[in-house]
């Protein structure tokens, strides 16, 4: 079993059915003897480019441990589901899995501001 992450984008008009989509895809993974480790709903976000004339979409990240067969079945279900604009599945390396998480965007913005404030303060 390997660790995988699947990010999928749902049509903005289908956003009310997000819980249904998540439960459905979790059952697909678990039906193939996989285990869902974490579900992270990112909410409604702007798309980098228009997809099917849409500029926004609901993003969701599934992190799970499963076989390659479960990934194939999940992607087949994602392809067949109305309302899924895009999806991407990646296999997480063991080395990457054990590293600490990267800084969030807000932490990255805060660090330079704090450093600049420290430099401008007079030392006594």
**What domains are defined for the chain?**
2-119 (3.30.70.60)
* Residue 116 pLDDT > 80: no
* Residue 9 pLDDT > 70: yes
Rg (C-alpha) for the chain, rounded Å, is 19
Confidence label for 38 from pLDDT (cuts 50, 70 and 90) = very high
The pTM score is: 0.73
* Residue 89 pLDDT > 90: yes
Report the pLDDT value the prediction gives residue 98, as an integer from 0 to 100: 61
Q: Taking the CB of residue 4, how many other CB atoms lie within 10 A of it?
A: 22
* Residue 107 pLDDT > 90: no
């Amino acid at each position: 079993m390997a660790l995988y992450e699947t990010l999928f984008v749902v049509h903005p008009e289908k956003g009310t059915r997000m819980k249904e989509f998540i439960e459905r895809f979790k059952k697909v993974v678990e039906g193939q003897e996989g285990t869902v480790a974490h579900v992270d709903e990112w909410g409604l976000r702007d798309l980098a480019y228009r997809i099917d004339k849409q500029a926004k979409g609901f993003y969701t990240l599934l992190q799970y441990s499963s076989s390659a067969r479960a990934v194939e079945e999940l992607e087949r279900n994602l392809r067949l589901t109305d309302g899924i604009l895009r999806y991407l599945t990646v296999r997480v390396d063991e080395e990457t899995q054990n590293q600490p998480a990267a800084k969030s965007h807000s932490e990255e913005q805060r660090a330079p501001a704090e450093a600049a404030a420290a430099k401008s303060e007079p030392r006594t």
